[in-house]
Amino acid sequence: KGKLVEMVSISTTPSLQFVFLIPSMLENWKDGPEEVLAKILGDEYKGSLIDRLIEEELAFDLTSSRNHYSDAFTTIELSVNLSSRGFTHYKRVIELIGKYIHMLRQQGIPETIFSEMKQIAKLDFDYAKKPIITDLCVEMLSGSRQIPASNCLNWQIGLESYRPDLYVQLLEMMDLESAIVFLMSDSFENPSSVEPIFGTKYSARSFTEEEKNDFKAPKYSEEEHEMFKLPGPNKAIPKDTSMPPA
């Protein structure tokens, strides 16, 4: 943890991947606080993280996810496909990610956003396509190792209760101290190390105390104070899914 890893990749598109390692959240699987944060970080709207990255011509797209590794730990991950400018100015990308997380800490996660996520998750579950049986079995087995067997079909819906206390707790842990940041490109020359199994070439260094402090408590220029906003109401969520009479 607390490292920047410059990795030689086979892709011609440079990318930056944040992996925040946090204590296991499986005991809170019904409420999915890590799912809520991952969805907000990856959301696309005016004032979002990806909106700013695109505006500054630093990135093309951004995806976010969360993963549980049994009861050992949980990760919240961000993957950013960088432009050539973004690769050159990757420190600015890291800075903006820190400022967006700082905004979430300052403003909190409103219950309205959680309620919309809960509605969408239920709609996705209720109207999901018929699964391939082998995929369903794998998903059920995966769930049964982590949560009660009676919930292994719908455990990934989560979002049962609004938990602002857990959102605050997680956001406080999302800093450079708990992160591994991978900067990947096919243009790195003379990396210092080689991964022994797959032969991946890379260099790694620890973040400085100054970098850690700037990420956790960022400084804003005058025009930056309003650049990030929470998402507004989602007007595309259907209020009535009943079928009209024939």
* Cα(131)–Cα(234) distance, integer angstroms: 28
Q: How far apart are the first and last CA of the chain?
A: 59
Distance CA 190, CA 201 (A): 9
Structure tokens given for 110: 């409103």
User: Which tens digit of pLDDT belongs to each residue from 68-102?
Assistant: 887 789 999 999 999 999 999 999 999 999 999 99
Query: What is the pTM for the complete model shown?
Result: 0.89
Under the banding of pLDDT at 50, 70 and 90, the label for residue 127 is confident
Residues facing residue 202 across a β-bridge: 7, 193
Residue 65 pLDDT greater than 90, yes or no: yes
pLDDT at 150: 63
Token pair, residue 221, equals: 């220029």
Q: How confident is the model at residue 128 (pLDDT cuts 50, 70, 90)?
A: confident
Percent of the chain with pLDDT over 90: 66
Query: Cα–chain-centroid distance for residue 106?
Result: 18
Confidence of residue 157 (pLDDT cuts 50, 70, 90): low
- Residue 237 has a pLDDT of 87
* pLDDT value at residue 151: 66
Q: What pLDDT digit, counting tens, does each position of 191-215 carry?
A: 999 999 999 999 999 999 999 999 9
> How far, in Å, CA of 218 to CA of 70, rounded?
33
Provide mean pLDDT across the span 31-41. 93
Q: Amino acid identity, residue 92?
A: R
pLDDT at site 26: 83
pLDDT exceeds cutoff 70 at 156: no
